[in-house]
């Protein structure tokens, strides 16, 4: 996708104040703490956010640990410099004020990519836009309620972290009183209030949210925030919340539906329509019998480029496209649209669609501070672990792909392929939640590396988030830039498939590698490492003290002896002889890329050539064609690619 940043609301609240509110700078952590709690000694600069939690907890009589755990799930204690999340959430407590923070678009309607990616059928390129909401749900207006409870202006709750934390504490205390519960010092007695704080619209979603908060309470957390604040929450492994309180929240049961989700998340059914319409056309997915006919090999991560409610309307439009799941930012609610046995139209490559499950996340690529919540990350990780177990999908970056890692199926489609979820998706944290953290698996002289920069401190310059050529806000990133020599002034690596000069544009994938991706080492020079990338030697800074990559082990391919190069393909289709009568043979045409002799690329998987023939609404002609040709999936550039097994040799790379 090529997304855009939403514009936050900045109108201050007009309510008469119970406290004096001075002129504030955004993220003004140095201000006096709020309320009538006993004055505490002045905190060191890096500990003022921790002190703000102490003060708000004391003033509103909320257990400090509960306040910290709720905030961690909302924002991981980050302030995001006062910018709103995708759902209009502000500050460490993610207080929502989404009047102008919601966008009305969706990334499948943008660009030239054919979401289905099947050249056997006319391209489907939707042009719909998500309708604007006429009334905002309660989950998107919690900041207004916090302003009423605290008497603080909305602008202060948006921009002053201490005020924001106080607003969150006030909401929790209000929810506790509303349940008829005392303001207990026992964290176990706040389960119902935490569930209500989520502003979820049903009991199951609220319970899943509260369960996550209590998981954080049991395990504890500590980190340095994006504003350099040290915050810690001690573990309470024996904590058992009073879950019976949930019955008194007044929340209704979630709508019944046939969903494929783990029990540890809240999941609803919002089916994508399988309907025939128009001139023998149909949408917006294909029925299948996976994994009986074809294995699920990939899970593809997307962002929506729009708000939840509008996207839910789009997925139910038969003339639009489809994906299997969407995950909501505010509370991690999951909606399933297409069964895993069926094939959704989401990745822009029919071969990948036929072998994958697609998951959309409420978010924006080009707005680094319209951030993803911890609730969303955790819910997504639980879903991916569930799908991994159910379908045997390995938890690595060769099988858990971003939409940006999916190759164009043909040369003409390469420039129009999408680039989400983009450089601000935190793959390192995501794989930690998946229980498969990236780590060193080789020695200092290993012939492979895994890309693994420190997300917070790694801040490459990107441009074009709001205006072409203008720098994006400084922000952590999981991506590392590649140069043609061991010099930051050297030209960037060029992607010949794009046909344009490389840039530092946020949507330009020419010269970027991403956390978790693995490459073969071509050369080392001081603090620089070169890898084989798009048929070239590509350099990145990799200092010993602050490495951008760690040694790895695995398997690589290289052209067989005597071959000057071998072609790279965007899809792994069968040979012509494999197609039965009645199924037109699909051409196997290479992309404008090769693997030259002597170069090595990391192997992700070995697979047969397959093609799922599904060009009619009725299923009687649908079938999977499987050939004798075998392919290796490789990490070729930023995107993966495929080479014929007959063209290459495979070797283990361990040291």
pLDDT tens per residue across span 306-349: 888 888 989 998 888 999 999 999 899 999 999 999 999 999 99
**Is residue 37 in a domain?**
no
- In this structure, the answer to whether residues 568 and 436 fall within a common structural domain is no
What residues contact 497, with CB distance under 8 A and at least 6 apart? 408, 411, 414, 415, 591, 592, 593
Q: Which helix (H) or strand (E) holds 53?
A: helix 48-60
Structure tokens at 4: 């855009």
**Is residue 375 in a domain?**
yes
Among 198, 215, 248, identify where a domain stops: 248
**Residues 153, 157, 160: CA angle, nearest 5 degrees:** 115
Among 477, 499, 516, identify where a domain stops: 477
- Give residue 7's pLDDT: 34
- In this structure, the answer to whether residues 192 and 339 fall within a common structural domain is no
**Is residue 482 in a domain?**
no
Q: What is the CATH number of the domain that holds 198?
A: 1.10.530
- Give residue 445's pLDDT: 86
CA distance 452 to 442: 14
Structure tokens at 561: 């002896």
CA distance 334 to 267: 5
What residues contact 80, with CB distance under 8 A and at least 6 apart? 91, 226, 369, 371
CA distance 540 to 514: 12
- Give residue 23's pLDDT: 33
- In this structure, the answer to whether residues 384 and 412 fall within a common structural domain is yes
CA distance 585 to 336: 33
Q: Domain range spanning residue 613? A: 559-653
- Overall number of domains in the chain: 3
**Is residue 532 in a domain?**
no
- In this structure, the answer to whether residues 177 and 94 fall within a common structural domain is yes
- In this structure, the answer to whether residues 151 and 213 fall within a common structural domain is yes
- The stretch 189-199 carries a mean pLDDT of 96
- In this structure, the answer to whether residues 208 and 323 fall within a common structural domain is no
pLDDT tens per residue across span 203-225: 999 999 999 999 999 999 999 99
CA distance 356 to 290: 10
- In this structure, the answer to whether residues 350 and 444 fall within a common structural domain is yes
- Give residue 138's pLDDT: 86
- Give residue 78's pLDDT: 93
Instruction: Work out the number of other CB atoms within 10 angstroms of the CB of residue 406.
Output: 27
- In this structure, the answer to whether residues 411 and 280 fall within a common structural domain is yes
pLDDT tens per residue across span 110-166: 667 789 999 888 888 776 666 665 677 888 899 999 999 999 999 999 999 999 999
CA distance 488 to 537: 15
**Is residue 125 in a domain?**
no
**Is residue 551 in a domain?**
no
- In this structure, the answer to whether residues 244 and 271 fall within a common structural domain is no
CA distance 594 to 590: 9
**Is residue 38 in a domain?**
no
pLDDT tens per residue across span 620-647: 889 999 999 999 999 999 999 999 999 9
**Is residue 508 in a domain?**
no
Specify burial of residue 386 (Cβ count, 10 A radius: 0-12, 13-18, 19+): middle
- Give residue 98's pLDDT: 78
- In this structure, the answer to whether residues 345 and 198 fall within a common structural domain is no
pLDDT tens per residue across span 541-572: 999 999 999 999 999 999 999 999 999 999 99
pLDDT tens per residue across span 393-444: 999 999 999 999 999 999 999 999 999 999 999 999 999 999 999 999 999 8
Identify the DSSP state of 158: H
pLDDT bin (cut points 50, 70, 90) of residue 492 is: very high
- Give residue 473's pLDDT: 86
**Residues 414, 322, 293: CA angle, nearest 5 degrees:** 85
- In this structure, the answer to whether residues 195 and 331 fall within a common structural domain is no
Among 418, 452, 477, identify where a domain stops: 477
Picking from 334, 343, 225, the residue whose alpha carbon sits closest to that of residue 269 is 334
- The stretch 43-70 carries a mean pLDDT of 95
* Residue bearing the bigger pLDDT, 119 or 575: 575
- In this structure, the answer to whether residues 403 and 445 fall within a common structural domain is yes
Q: What is the CATH number of the domain that holds 323?
A: 3.40.80.10
């Amino acid at each position: 996708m090529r997304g855009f940043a939403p514009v936050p609301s900045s109108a201050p609240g007009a309510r008469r104040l119970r406290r004096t509110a001075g002129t504030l700078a955004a993220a003004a952590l140095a201000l006096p703490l709020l309320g009538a709690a006993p004055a505490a000694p002045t905190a060191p600069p890096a500990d003022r956010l921790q002190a703000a939690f102490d003060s708000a907890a004391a003033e509103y009589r909320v257990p400090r640990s509960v306040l910290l755990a709720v905030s961690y799930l909302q924002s991981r204690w980050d302030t995001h410099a006062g910018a709103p999340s995708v759902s209009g959430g502000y500050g460490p407590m993610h207080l929502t004020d989404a009047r102008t923070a919601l966008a009305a678009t969706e990334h499948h309607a943008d660009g030239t990519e054919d979401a289905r990616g099947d050249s056997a059928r006319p391209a489907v390129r939707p042009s719909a836009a998500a309708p604007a909401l006429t009334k905002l749900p309660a989950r998107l207006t919690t900041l207004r309620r916090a302003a009423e409870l605290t008497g603080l202006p909305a602008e202060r709750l948006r921009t002053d972290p201490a005020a924001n934390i106080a607003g969150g504490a006030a909401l929790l205390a209000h929810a506790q009183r509303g349940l008829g519960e005392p303001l207990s010092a026992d964290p176990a007695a706040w389960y119902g209030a935490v569930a209500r704080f989520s502003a979820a619209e049903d009991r199951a979603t609220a319970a899943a949210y509260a369960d996550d908060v209590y998981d954080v309470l049991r395990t504890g957390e500590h980190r340095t925030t994006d504003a350099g604040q040290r915050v810690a929450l001690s573990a309470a492994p024996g904590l058992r919340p009073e879950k019976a309180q949930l019955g008194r929240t007044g929340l209704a049961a979630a709508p019944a539906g046939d969903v494929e989700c783990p029990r540890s998340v809240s999941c609803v059914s919002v089916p994508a329509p399988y309907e025939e319409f128009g001139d023998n056309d149909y949408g917006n997915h294909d029925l299948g019998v996976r994994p009986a006919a074809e294995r699920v090999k990939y899970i593809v991560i997307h962002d929506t480029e729009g708000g939840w409610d509008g996207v839910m309307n789009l997925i139910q439009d038969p003339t639009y496209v489809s994906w299997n799941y969407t995950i909501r930012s505010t509370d991690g609610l999951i909606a399933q649209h297409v069964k895993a046995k069926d094939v959704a139209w989401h990745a822009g490559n029919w071969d990948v669609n036929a072998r994958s499950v697609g998951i959309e996340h409420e978010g924006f690529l080009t707005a680094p501070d319209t951030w993803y919540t911890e609730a969303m990350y955790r819910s997504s990780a639980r879903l991916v672990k569930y799908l991994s177990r159910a379908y045997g999908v390995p938890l690595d970056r060769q099988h858990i792909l971003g939409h940006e890692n999916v190759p164009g199926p043909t040369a003409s489609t390469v420039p129009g392929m999408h680039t989400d979820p983009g450089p601000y998706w935190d793959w390192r944290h995501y794989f930690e939640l998946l229980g498969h953290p990236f780590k060193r698996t080789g020695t200092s002289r290993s012939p492979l590396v895994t890309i693994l920069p420190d997300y917070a401190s790694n801040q490459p310059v990107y441009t074009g988030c709001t205006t072409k050529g203008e720098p994006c806000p400084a922000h952590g990133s999981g991506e590392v830039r590649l140069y043609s020599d061991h010099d930051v002034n050297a030209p960037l690596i060029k992607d010949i498939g794009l046909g344009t000069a490389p840039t530092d544009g946020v949507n330009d994938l020419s010269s970027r590698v991403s956390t978790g991706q693995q490459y073969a080492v071509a050369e080392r020079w001081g603090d620089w490492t070169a890898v084989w990338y798009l048929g070239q030697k590509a350099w990145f800074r990799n200092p010993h003290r602050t490495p951008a990559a760690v040694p790895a082990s695995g398997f690589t391919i290289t052209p067989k002896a005597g071959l000057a190069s071998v072609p790279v393909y965007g899809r792994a289709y069968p040979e012509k002889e494999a197609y039965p009568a009645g199924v037109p043979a699909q051409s196997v045409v290479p992309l404008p890329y090769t693997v030259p002799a002597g170069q090595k690329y990391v192997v992700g998987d070995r697979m047969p050539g397959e093609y799922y023939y599904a060009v009619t609404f009725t299923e009687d002609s649908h079938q999977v064609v499987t050939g004798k040709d075998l392919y290796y999936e490789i990490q070729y550039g930023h995107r993966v690619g495929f080479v014929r097994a007959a063209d290459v040799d495979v070797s283990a790379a361990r040291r």
